[in-house]
Amino acid sequence: MKNAVRRTVFLLVVGLIGVYGYLVLRGPQGIPALRGKWREIRELEENNANLQRENQYRRDRIKKLEENSSAQELEIRKKLKLVRPGETSFILPDAPKQEAGKPDVPKPDAAQPDAAKPDAPPEFE
C-alpha cells in the first residue's frame, strides 16, 4: 500500500512539474517573449549597423571637405545658392505633381473649346 501511495505522489509531483514547466514556457515571459526579444535585438543590431555606415560616410565626407578646397567651395555654393561673376543660374519651377493612380481628367467647370456654352447665343454658319 505504501508503494502505491509513493508512486501516486511521485506521478502527481512529476505531473505538476510538467504542467508548471509548460505554463512557464508558453506564458507571457516564456518562449514567445524570448523570440520577441531576439527579433528586437536583431532589429537594433541592423539599426546600429546602418547608423555606423552613415557615421562613416559623414566622417569621410567631412575629411574630403577639409582636404579639398574645391569640393568645399562647391558645397558652399550649392548650399547658399551662390554664383560666380559671369555665371548664369537657371531656376526651373517644379512640375505639378499628379496623384498616383489618377489620370489627368479636366475639371467639370472648365469649358471645352468645341462645346457650346448654354448661355451663349448659337453660332451662325
The pLDDT of 74-79, averaged and rounded, is 84
The most confident of 26-35, 47-56, 64-73, by mean pLDDT? 47-56
| Confidence at residue 109, expressed as pLDDT on a 0 to 100 scale | 60
What cell was used for 60? 569621410
Work out the pLDDT band at 22, boundaries 50, 70, 90.
confident
Work out the pLDDT band at 118, boundaries 50, 70, 90.
low
pTM of the model: 0.47
70 or 105, which is more confident = 70
Q: Residue 2: helix, strand or coil by DSSP? A: helix
d(CA 48, CA 56): 12
Q: Rounded to the nearest 10 degrees, how much is the dihedral formed by the CA atoms of 14, 20, 21, 26?
A: 150
Closest-CA residue to 96 (of 107, 104, 85, 108):
104
pLDDT in tens, 80-113: 877 788 888 778 888 887 776 666 556 666 555 5
Least confident segment among 41-50, 63-72, 93-102: 93-102
| Confidence at residue 125, expressed as pLDDT on a 0 to 100 scale | 43
